[in-house]
Amino acid sequence: MSTDEKFSHDLVTEDYYAKEMAYQNEIDAETNTQNLIEKIESKKVPTGWLIVFPTEFDTSKIKGTIALYRPSNQQLDFELPLIFKDRKLHIPDKNLIGGRWNITIDWIYQDKAFMYKEKIVY
């Protein structure tokens, strides 16, 4: 094996390790969500979009955010704190424009990280 001395063999990013750890944390959080006994429900309703959390959570003890990303228009992206009513999160119709959205919910429950991702068409 030979290497050409005119090429740099340094890592592309300086903070490679930190980025790798953050990515692993995201994978672990998604795995925690996939391992739930009861799955998160998500559906369009006449007043917006509804997300229902499993009964195994005491939603008063959940801390986190929901982020909605619009792939076609970054200016429409928004993030909200998780505020539940009877295990339900409601995203009002006024916040959503018809089309494709990426939903990401990040939360901590009993010192354990969770992440739920879904691509929807509203």
- Residue 14: band (very low, low, confident or very high) from pLDDT cuts 50, 70, 90: low
- Residue 16: band (very low, low, confident or very high) from pLDDT cuts 50, 70, 90: low
Assess whether pLDDT exceeds 60 at residue 2.
Answer: no
Q: Where are the beta strands (DSSP E) in 2-99?
A: 41-45, 48-52, 63-69, 78-81, 88-92
Architecture of domain 16-121: Sandwich (2.60)
In this predicted model, what pLDDT tens digit does every residue of 39-58 receive, in sequence order? 999 999 999 999 999 999 99
In this predicted model, what pLDDT tens digit does every residue of 66-119 receive, in sequence order? 999 999 999 999 999 999 999 999 999 999 999 999 999 999 999 999 999 999
pLDDT reported for residue 8: 54
What gap in Å lies between CA 81 and CA 18, rounded to an integer?
A: 26
Assess whether pLDDT exceeds 90 at residue 59.
Answer: yes
What gap in Å lies between CA 100 and CA 122, rounded to an integer?
A: 6
The DSSP 8-state label assigned to residue 76 in this structure reads G
Identify whether the C-beta of residue 97 lies closer than 8 Å to the C-beta of residue 122: yes
φ, ψ dihedrals at 94, nearest 5° = -65, -20
Query: For residue 105, how many other CB atoms are within 10 A of its CB?
Result: 23
- Residue 12: band (very low, low, confident or very high) from pLDDT cuts 50, 70, 90: low
Handedness of CA 70, 81, 92, 52 (dihedral sign): positive
Where along the chain do its domains lie?
A: 16-121
